[in-house]
Every structure is written in structure tokens, then in C-alpha cells.
Amino acid sequence: MRSDKLPEVLPGHIAFIMDGNGRWAKKRLLPRKAGHREGVKTMRKIVNACFDIGMRYVTVFAFSTENKNRPEDEVNSLFALMQEYFTEFLGEMLDNGIRITVMGDISYFPESLRNIISEAVASSKECTRGTLNIALNYGARDEMLRAVNAAVDGGKHITADELSSLLYTSDIPDPDLIVRTGGESRLSNFMLYQCAYSELIFTKILWPDLDIKKLYEILNEYAMRDRRFGKIKS
């Protein structure tokens, strides 16, 4: 199969752990924030490509609960970058009929940034062409803890479906494919409940270097996977 051609089977939901911005900058003797800036451009390119080729759900891991523990200077530059970029990017999504959802606790974010995000979520609510789910101040353990506490508050045992409905992804299917750039083979607290049967692809490419050609290669690798979900192939 030629890897520059789109395979027939595409993931309905693709999730990206967008890692490697800092190292991309370091290689070029640039400050880390230059890597984040380039990373945002890549996010725009890749997210648009995913919807253009027919995927319905795209999740991007943009900021983890643990990323808050980075130096204040870096956290602030990430917020500033989102503030600068989100209005245009989220507006573009809206124009393209894409619904925006957020998973994570954005109450920690600066008010002006929160407002941009909340407005994009509210105004894209009825969009049906696809869903862009942005993980912001997201951690799977935090997500599960919230769900468990909500269940305990409910005062009775819950079903698996009810547990799913208490997660941030209540109306989003589990990811079919999780792609992590940057060379690390770990999930770093990302979608730990939802990833039960996700295919995982780890690539050494640093996030800012991910391009459409490589995305197609990844999709071809995914299409070759034999997804059995614990069953036996008939």
C-alpha cells in the first residue's frame, strides 16, 4: 500500500498527544516558546486536514494538569499564545462547521482566555460537521476522580454507561487512534479510561514537524492494525 494515499479505513476519532515543541526549539537554539508557537501552527494544519479527509472527532492534548508545574514563565507564555491564537483558530473551526468541546478544568485559566474558549464552545454547539475536543488543564486521574466523586454524591452504584457519562467525554466516542509525537512511549495521564481499546502510535517526529505526508503514513499504519476488542476474528 502506498503510504501517501489515504487508506479506506480511517479512525472516527483520532487523538493527538502533541509532544516535542520544546525539543524542536532547542534543536534550533530558540526559546521553548518558539516551539509552542510552531506547534500551534501544526495543530491548525493537522486538525484541518483530519476534518477535510472525513474524520468526525479530533482530540488534541494541549495542556495537562501536570504542565501547570512548569516554570511560571513557560505557563504564562502558553496562556498568551492560546489567547493570541484561539480567537482566529476557533473562529475558523466555527466557519467550517466544527463543534468545539473542552475537556479539563479551565477555571484555572486567565479570565480573558476562559471567555474566548467558553464563547467558542457555546457558539459552535449546533455544528455537526465534526467535533474538535481540546484537552486543557486535563488529566485522566483528575477526570476519574471527579466522576467517582459525582457518583458517590449520587449515593448508589453506577453502571459503566453512567460512569462514561460522568467523564468529560460523555458525548464523544472513545478514540480509535491515539498518536503521540516526540518520541516518548507513554500516555502521560491522557484518556486513561477511554483508551482501553485505542490503537497507539508513537512517532519520533517532534510535533511542530508533523506534516500531512506523515499523517497519511500514520493513518496507513492504523489501517493495517487488526482490532479485535478481545474477540476472535471470524
Rule CB under 6 A: say whether 64 interacts with ligand IPE.
Answer: yes
Specify the residue, 24 or 216, whose C-beta has the smaller distance to Mg ion. 24
Q: Is 137 in the site for ligand IPE (CB under 6 A)?
A: no
Residue 21 interface partner, choices Mg ion, ligand IPE, none, CB cut-off 5-8 Å depending on type: ligand IPE
Of 79 and 193, the one with the shorter C-beta distance to ligand IPE is: 79
Q: Taking the mean position of all CA atoms in its chain, how far away is CA 146?
A: 20
CA atoms of 41 and 224, how far apart (whole Å): 29
CB of 24 to ligand IPE, least distance (A): 7
Measured from each CB, the residue nearest to ligand IPE is 22
Choice between 127 and 195, CB closer to ligand IPE: 195
Cα distances (Å, whole numbers) of residue 159 to 143, 156, 165, 195 = 17, 10, 10, 18
Question: Which residue in the set 38, 43, 50, 61 belongs to the binding site for ligand IPE (CB under 6 A)?
Answer: 61
Cβ closest to ligand IPE, residue 34 vs residue 62:
62
Distance CA 80, CA 113 (A): 9
Pick the catalytic residue from 67, 96, 189, 220.
Answer: 67
Distances (CA, A) of 161 to 141, 158, 166, 195, 230: 18, 8, 9, 15, 19
2: left (phi over 0), alpha (psi -120 to 50) or beta: beta
Examine residue 203 and tell whether it contacts ligand IPE (CB under 6 A). Answer: no
Nearer to Mg ion, 19 or 176 (CB): 19
Is 19 a known active-site residue? yes
Closest distance to ligand IPE from the beta carbon of 121 (Å): 19
Write the interaction track for ligand IPE spanning residues 70-109; mark x where CB under 6 A is met and - where it is not: --------x-------------------------------
Which of positions 18-37 make contact with ligand IPE (CB under 6 A)? 18-23
From CA 100, how far away is CA 133, in angstroms rounded? 6
What is the DSSP code string of 175-193?
PSEEEE-SS----TTSSTT
Shortest spacing between CB 205 and ligand IPE, in angstroms = 12
For 52, the grid coordinates are 477535510
Interface residue with ligand IPE, options 40, 50, 55, 62 (CB under 6 A) = 62
Distance CA 23, CA 20 (A): 5
Q: What does the binding site for Mg ion look like in residue numbers (CB under 5 A)?
A: 19
Q: What's the N-to-C CA distance of the chain in angstroms? A: 24
Binding-site ranges for ligand IPE (CB under 6 A): 17-23, 61-64, 66-67, 78, 182, 184, 186, 188
Positions annotated as catalytic residues are 19, 67
